[in-house]
Each structure stands twice: as structure tokens, then as C-alpha cells.
Amino acid sequence: MWVLKLAWKNLWRNRGRTAVTISAVFFAVVLSITAGCLQDGVFANLIRNMVSFYSGYIQIHQSGYWDQQVLDNSMTRDEQIEESIRKEPGVTAFSPRIESYALASAGEVTKGCMVVGVDPEKENAITMLKSKVVAGAYFPHANASGALVSEGLLQRLGLALGDTVILLSQGYHGALAAGQFPITGVLKFGSPELNDQLLYLSLPSAQDFFSAPGQLTSYVLALESDDVQGQVQAGLQSALGSQMEVMNWGEMMPEVEQHINTDKSGMYTIQIILYLLICFGIFGTLLMMMAERQHEMGMLIAIGMKKAKLVQVVLAESVLTVLVGCLAGMLASVAVTYYLKNYPIRFGGDMADMYKRYGFEPIFPASMNPTIFFTQGIIVLALALVLGLYPMFKVLRMNPVLAMKN
Amino acid sequence: MKDVIDAHNISKTYNRDTIPVAAVQHVHLHLVRGEFTALVGPSGSGKTTLLNLIGGLDRPDEGSILIHGTDITKLSANQLIDFRLRNIGFVFQSFNLVPVLTARENVELIMQLQGMKGSEIEARVQALFRQIGMEDKMNTRPSQLSGGQQQRVAVARALASKPQVILADEPTANLDSKSAGNLLDIMLKLNQEEQMTFIFSTHDQRVIERARRVITLVDGAIVSDTARVATEST
Ligand SMILES: Nc1ncnc2c1ncn2[C@@H]1O[C@H](COP(=O)(O)OP(=O)(O)O)[C@@H](O)[C@H]1O
Ligand SMILES: [Mg+2]
């Protein structure tokens, strides 16, 4: 008991120093949690934006489709699969698609394009396709017979709204696919890749064109957040069995995932530097503290205080200081991240322009992921306690006569 | 009856920049209960070293030191700390007290370290502060006390652990003569009332005059050891 009492009194002896240590820990915790939550939020937002272009968080295909994306690897639309998807918690929407390459021609010009057959409403729920319409109109109903053509493709074909586009392709089981479609709408995508090659049909007219009635190449899923992705993927994979492949965006676009991981490791470097700075700060105060109290500690050992007891006192001081700083820091971080979540940082410059071009808000939202609070809190606590080993080490090696010499 | 201190042929040599300095050479020292002994000698003569050796703060290169029958040169480092706690009271030249604790807490600390019961501690603290005449300063921090008062509290603390002997290394060196005399009065009183054994180093002539035995060191060796009649204070 008196160990704690003595430790407590020692904390008040040099308030300035105690305050410096507490604030060092406090700011370390606030900065690292805020940085962690921002990083988490920004990447989650980036992924959310990116998957809403086209891919969705998760897709379901017949096994083998992703490796060989041909109509012969398509699946039959199946109410049981859709029921499984609906039952899976965390899934907010899904859209059935049939996709394949085709040649689009107009007069002398022929260009490759990607034909995507969609359920107008379901697709809109995931990719907000309706909002991409810049001329003409979105599919008026599920069986609409017109085509929505991306702006870039339309230009390359030299066509305009109201013209007719001729499509040629290979259909299901080797059938020849040919058809002509009135252009009823023009789509504008931020991504040039999409803007130059997408052509949307309603699901029935695409199935008809490919001679693949009732066939789908994929189900595209939207999720509440990327936090539930792992759980949904595993849940669906086990519900649907090995006949189906349930893939997440990272598996479908490994290069994007790798890019994000590279960015994240850059963030970790910054965090490590932050931790190092804080460590030096705390270590400095510990050095000062030990120099100042050397004589007194030597005296206490001389009169018969066991080193182990003295170590308890010094450790209690470290633990108290660090705990106060850490807890205060965590509380403040709740406030800071709550604010940044609701009033996200807006950024400008080229990056903002790019975001806007792709149709997204140029913001850095913060997440309030409890795991981040927990891990960052523990890291700072552990670091501070490791630093607390220095006084402990000094005490254990202390020679009372030498310590009292000055 | 066992000697309080029985040091036999102890020597200690320090190496300062590879030059050996014989700080204590072949010293024999016997102290019996109730002695009030001054250790005198010029600066560098080995007084502090000798006190550190018999107090178990430092180890001799040779010889044996029996404190109330225990050879402390044979104790491990940890045993030695515990031995000091239970058998030896220390008063150092200055900065004896923990600055964040009040006078009474400083005195209580050593009894808490010894594991004494709260009620016992309370009674003893009251008695000790009465003996040093500082009942009114019990709850004062060291920084608010004069040098003389701090040394008196240090003496009370040394006594609190009920040691075999109190070792005081130049306890009056930083005090004016009035405070020094006052401290000596208290030490003598405790020596008589509690039969407490004291050995203290000093080079203050007025302090030497109050001792009943004076041991003189020169170059780490005892050159004289005389019993004398202490002068009573005025
Ligand atoms: N830790 C030490 N290292 C080296 N030399 C020391 C050490 N302690 C004491 N000495 C030397 O031993 C001699 C005796 O010192 P000390 O016991 O302090 O004498 P006194 O207390 O009588 O002034 C001196 O020459 C001193 O310089
Ligand atoms: Mg000395």
C-alpha cells in the first residue's frame, strides 16, 4: 500500500515532468489512433468507391469462370442461390449479370466492347448506373430492348443517341450471336477503361442475344462495409458448395489490393517514426528523473529498502503515468475520430479532381474501428512499460555508496 | 555479552585511475553496547570508508566484520540489505530524507519496511518526535525544515528501526554550531536513555569533545584510540 502511496507522491514532486510524460503518452495515443482510424476509413472508403464502379465487394460465379471468362462457364439463374444471398447477413444488394465480349459495328467501323446484361433496378442499387446516364434515358423496364452505350465507345463508333448499333459475338455453346439495338441512352464513366468499352443491355435481351436464356455469368454483391466481407464470403461459399466460386474484390483485382497494401505499409512506417519520437520523449524524462533521484534512491537502499521494493515504486510510477495518459488519450480519440467520421476532412488538388471525375466525394473519412483503439492503446502502453524497464534496470544495478556520492 | 561491532583486520583498497588507494588498512575495531564514539581524522583518512564497511554498504577486501555476532562479509547482497534494515541505523551528512514525504512519513517508512504493525508504528513515531523535540513539525516536508531539524529527523529514523548501532557520517558537517550542538545533545540523550550505540565521524572539535571515545584514523589506519570523559553540554 505504501508503495503506491510513495509512487503517487513522487508523481506530484515534479509536476512539470509528470505532465510532460502524460502528455507524451496522451498525444502518442491520440495521434496513433487517429492516424489508424483515418487510414482505415480512407481505405475502406476507397474500396467502397472502387467496388461500386463495377465489381462489387463479392461476386459469385460458377467454379472456374474467373479463370476462363467465357459464356460456356456461365451458370443457370437459380432461385436457391438468390435465397442464400438474401439470407446472408451483411449483404445489402445483389445484381445478376451476363457479360461477354462482342464486336460493335456501325458502318465501316468495328470496335470491341463488353456487353453487360443487367436487371436495371438491381444493377442500379449497386453501381448507381442510372446516375451515369448523360443523354437519353435509363432502361424503362426490366425487358427494355434498347442499349445504353458508354460515351467513349459511342464516339469511337461515330454514333449518336437514337442510332442503331450492330453487335456480333459468339453465343452460348458456340451459337453465333448477332443483333441490332437502338441506342436509348448514353453513359459517362469516370474511369476511361469503363467509358471506352461498356455497353449495357437488359438481362433478357442480352440472354437472347447470346442464345443463353436463363444463364448468368455472375452475381455481384454489395455489402454493408468491408468489415463483413470475410464473414459473408465464407458463409456463402459454404452455403453454395464447391460448384460455385465466391470471390472478393481483392481476389478479382489482386493488383489493386497490392497497391493498397503498399500504401498501408507506408502508413506503418509513419506510425513507427511517431512511436520512436514519443519513446525518445518519454526516455528523456526518465533519464532526468533517475539523475534527480539517484541520491535519494541510494539512500533508501542504504537504509535497508530492498531493490525489489524500490523497483515496485518506480514501476508503479510508470504504470500510473502511462495509464492516465493512455486512458485520457483513448477518450480524446473517441471524440476526435467521432468528429472526423461525421465531418470528414475534405481535400483538394489533383487527387480531388480525380475523385470528382470518378463521381466520388473528395473526403478522408475516419472509421471508429474498436480494434484500432485497442491495438494502438496496447502498443503505446507496452512501449511505455518497456521504457519503464530502464529505471528498473538502473535500480537493480545501483550501488548505494556511489549513488550517494554526489 | 556480544560486541556490537567486532571488526577484525579489515582492509579496503580502491583503484583510482589504476592507482591503488589504500582507504582502510588492517583495522581492528570493537564497540560494545552503549558506546558513543567519534571517528576523527583528516579528510581522505578513510572515515567514510570504514563506516561504510561496518555498515555493510561496502565490502572489505580482507578481514571479518561481526555485527552482534553475524559476519556480514559472508552475507549475499540481498541479505545485506535486509541486515542493514534490521540492525543498522544510518545518518548521512545531508539529504537523508525522502523529499516527497513528511517528517513523520520518513520515520514511518523504515518501520513499514520492517513490517511493523500500524498501531506500534504510531506509538513509536510519537515517542521519537518527542525525544527529538519536534512534535510540532511531524507533518512538515523536509524542504520546510532547517538543516538541523532534518538531521534530527534522520536520527529519529535511524533509531526507529531499533538497530544495534547507529552510524553517522559527518552528521553535523553542514550545520551551524548551535544546530550541531543541539543534534549532539539529542544523540547523547538517546545514547543514555535507550542505551543506543553511536559511532560517528567528524572533524568538528566541539563535537569531538562530546564523545566518550575517540578513534583517530590517518591514511586508513587507526593511530590512536582513547577513552575520555564527555563534556556535558551547557
Ligand atoms: N569509491 C571510491 N573510489 C576510489 N577511491 C575512493 C573511493 N572512496 C574513497 N576513495 C578514496 O579512499 C580514501 C579514503 O576516503 P574516505 O573514506 O572518503 O575518507 P574520509 O571520509 O576520511 O574523508 C580517499 O583517498 C578517497 O579518495
Ligand atoms: Mg568522509
Residue B137 lies in a domain: no
Residue B119 lies in a domain: no
Minimum CA distance residue for ligand 1 atom 16: B46
Tell if the CB–CB gap between A300 and B98 is shorter than 8 Å: yes
Mutation to probe ligand 1, out of B10, B16, B27, B218 (largest number of atoms < 8 A from CB): B16
Residue pair B32/B3 in contact (Cβ under 8 Å)? The answer is yes
3-state secondary structure A229-277: HHHHHHHHHHHHCCCEEEEEHHHHCHHHHHHHHHHHHHHHHHHHHHHHH
Report how far residue A49's alpha carbon sits from residue A87's, in angstroms, rounded to the nearest whole number.
25
Residue A187: give the domain boundaries: 56-252
Residue A238: per-residue pLDDT: 95
Residue B123 lies in a domain: no
Chain A residues touching residue B86 (CB < 8 angstroms): 304
Residues A188 and A316 in one domain: no
Which ligand is located closest to the Cα atom of residue B170?
A: 2
Residues A184 and A87 in one domain: yes
Tell if the CB–CB gap between A306 and B157 is shorter than 8 Å: no
Task: Point out the domain boundary residue: A220, A252, A284.
Answer: A252
Residues A142 and A284 in one domain: no
DSSP strand E in A63-196: where?
75-76, 91-106, 109-118, 133-136, 147-150, 164-170, 176-187
Report how far residue B88's alpha carbon sits from residue A223's, in angstroms, rounded to the nearest whole number.
75
Residue B234: per-residue pLDDT: 45
pTM score above 0.95: no
Phi, psi of A198 (to 5 degrees): -85, 140
Residues A80 and A185 in one domain: yes
Chain B residues touching residue A13 (CB < 8 angstroms): 99-100
Domain containing B72 — which CATH number?
A: 3.40.50.300
Residues A157 and A197 in one domain: yes
Residue B100 lies in a domain: no
pLDDT in tens, B63-76: 999 999 999 999 99
Residue B128 lies in a domain: no
Helix/strand/coil for A67 = coil
Structural domains in chain B (count): 1
Ligand 1 atom with least separation from CA of B50 = 17
Residue B78: give the domain boundaries: 3-94+150-227
Residue A130: per-residue pLDDT: 94
The environment of the single-atom ion ligand 2, i.e. residues with CB closer than 5 A, is B 48
Task: Point out the domain boundary residue: A197, A221, A252.
Answer: A252
Residues A67 and A216 in one domain: yes
Residue B27 lies in a domain: yes
Chain A contact residues (CB < 8 Å to B): 2, 6, 9-10, 12-13, 295-296, 299-307, 309, 400-401, 404
Residues A285 and A357 in one domain: yes
Residue among B87, B96, B98 with most chain A CBs within 10 A, to mutate: B98
Letter string b/e over residues B53-89, b meaning 16 or more CB atoms within 10 A of that residue's CB: bbbbbbebeebebbbbebebbebeeeebbebbbebbb
Residue A317: per-residue pLDDT: 87
- Residues whose CB is less than 8 angstroms from the CB of residue A135 and which lie 6 or more positions away in sequence, other chains included: A161, A185, A186
Tell if the CB–CB gap between B57 and A400 is shorter than 8 Å: yes
Residue B230: per-residue pLDDT: 54
Look up the ipTM and state it.
Answer: 0.93
By Cβ distance, the residue of A12, A299, A301 closest to B92 is A299
Residue B129 lies in a domain: no
Which ligand is located closest to the Cα atom of residue B25?
A: 1
- What averages of pLDDT result for each successive group of 10 residues across chain A (406 residues)? 85 86 87 87 85 90 94 94 94 96 93 96 94 95 95 94 95 91 93 90 96 95 90 95 94 88 84 85 86 93 94 88 90 92 86 77 84 86 85 92 86
Residue B143 lies in a domain: no
Residue B232: per-residue pLDDT: 55
Structural domains in chain A (count): 2
Residues of chain B with pLDDT below 70 are: 1, 229-234
Binding-site residues, ligand 1, Cβ < 6 A:
B 14, 16, 21, 23, 41, 43-49
